Structure 1
Amino acid sequence: MDILLIPGLWLDDASWTDISPALEAAGHRPVPMTMPGVGQPAELSAGIGIADWVRAVVAQIDATKGPVVLVGHSGGGNVVWGAADARPDRVSRVVFVDTVPPPPGSEISEFPVVEGVIPFPGWEYFPDEDVYDIDAATRARTLPQTRSVPARVPTDPILLTGERHRVPVTLLMGSLSQDELEAQIDRWGPYGDEYHSIDDATVLKIGSGHWPQFTQPARLAELISSALTQ
């Protein structure tokens, strides 16, 4: 099975380096991707928005024979959901890594813009629940891997108009089980509506912070592989 691996903000295909070998060993074909404009200055990336990131994934789907699985970490969840919306007949499953399916018109989040792009704000920017398991050595190792993202991408609304809800979904949540997520998501307005509209959704708890590809790569790879057999 071809598995397209879509990173969250500030990361590129290298962020999946510790995941891909285990997926290959399980018989899959991981395809880590870097989104358009990542690491580029404003003069090259100012016109790039979330729709361009979705189109990049759709183009990869179209270039692949047979069905694909889409894996999206964090803000990459918006991207894979948009791609599944565009190609529901080609996507056998969407796997969200510590994020939930976005409703139409929603954004990723807002971050400080510097010189026309959004640089990684540093590990200290995030709440402890997101980064508690990233030790000093891992922070030092991964910080040089971070890249700026185009200024529009985090705040562009996601366009969703297709039949995405019939695509099976697995949510791999850092700290929430299915019961815990469902106890909360109805308080999240349209995010709850989007979740409940999915025909087949399963939630599994990773037991990690927000970046399990760095802190628990073996478990994340195992959960991704097991999701494909659901």
Structure 2
Amino acid sequence: MTNEAFSPSGKTYLLIHGAWHGAWCWDKVIPLVQARGHKAIAIDLPGHGRDLGRTSDIGLDDYVNEVVKAVEDQNGPVILVGHSMSGIVISQAAEKLGGKKIAALVYLDAFLPRDGESLFALVEATLKSLTPRSRKPGLVENLIISEDHKTNFVNPGMAAEIFYHDCSEEDREFALPRISKEPIAPLATPVRLTDDVYGKIPKYYILCTEGRDMDKTFLSTHVPCKKVYTLASSHSPFFSMPEKLVEILNAIQ
């Protein structure tokens, strides 16, 4: 989804969904960004949204290349916004694209990696950071692995509670049927990042303090960020509080 009529002084945001989701999760955000004179684009990563043709053989490079292509199609610098799993994706894409093309990286309750880390490694480190008292059953306990161990999906009976507990019934009815399988390979692949490229691109973190998937407080401090914002929302503020989310995005330079 794109918006061609935007202010010449406006920013360009490329919105990247997290695991099991698609470009559809940004439907409320895009018009709000556009209303502020900016350009907003949401894409489906391979195997998600409208691109469900293949899933099990998708790797991290497939995700990254899709983002790189979308960025290269834009004039001028782009702000990459990655939700959840896609913190990994936007980090690797930024390393490939460089600071002249990527104005900033925004991690929306996302996995924020250092060089050599995979999403699985970050999940393990995040869980270790929690005290037994603060750790509550969430996403990890409700993942179902396929028989061939190439994909996983979220326990359908718990997805609404994990992702959308503060969202409207209308939003839940929209989102739940659209949740798809997630390839495992991208989650297990370490990123390759350098201080000279990735390290110099400004980073911002938006921590969703009421998320019931996993407490990401640890991740918000894992790599230095210019600023850490908080939203008292579930893991899905693009549904539950899109206006507040866009206020934060608009403040990022």
TM-score range, shorter chain: 0.7 to 0.9
**What is the CA–CA distance in structure 2 between the aligned matches of 1:125 and 1:23, rounded to whole Å?**
27
1:142 offset after TM fit, Å? Answer: 1.3
Alignment pair present for 1:122 and 2:163: no
1:2 offset after TM fit, Å? Answer: 1.6
1:81 offset after TM fit, Å? Answer: 1.1
Alignment pair present for 1:52 and 2:86: no
Query: What TM-score do you get using the length of structure 1 for normalisation?
Result: 0.80
Match of 2:102 among 91, 105, 108: 91
> Are 2:88 and 2:191, in contact at CA under 8 Å, matched by a contact in 1?
yes
Where structure 2 has 5 or more consecutive residues not aligned to the other structure, the ranges are 1-10, 121-139
1:138 offset after TM fit, Å? Answer: 3.3
Equivalent residue for 1:102?
A: 113
**What is the CA–CA distance in structure 2 between the aligned matches of 1:123 and 1:219, rounded to whole Å?**
29
* Paired residues, number: 212
1:100 offset after TM fit, Å? Answer: 4.3
> Are 2:80 and 2:105, in contact at CA under 8 Å, matched by a contact in 1?
yes
> Are 2:160 and 2:176, in contact at CA under 8 Å, matched by a contact in 1?
no
1:220 offset after TM fit, Å? Answer: 0.8
Runs (4 or more) in structure 1 with deviation over 4 Å come to: 125-128
Q: RMSD between aligned alpha carbons?
A: 2.7
**What is the CA–CA distance in structure 1 between the aligned matches of 2:175 and 2:47, rounded to whole Å?**
20
Give SS of 2:171's match: helix
Alignment pair present for 1:173 and 2:207: yes
1:53 offset after TM fit, Å? Answer: 0.5
Equivalent residue for 1:36?
A: 46
**What is the CA–CA distance in structure 1 between the aligned matches of 2:185 and 2:160, rounded to whole Å?**
21
Structure 1 123/136 Cα, relative in aligned 2: closer, same or farther at 3 Å? farther
Query: What TM-score do you get using the length of structure 2 for normalisation?
Result: 0.74
Match of 2:72 among 50, 62, 67: 62
Where structure 1 has 5 or more consecutive residues not aligned to the other structure, the ranges are none
Give SS of 1:195's match: coil
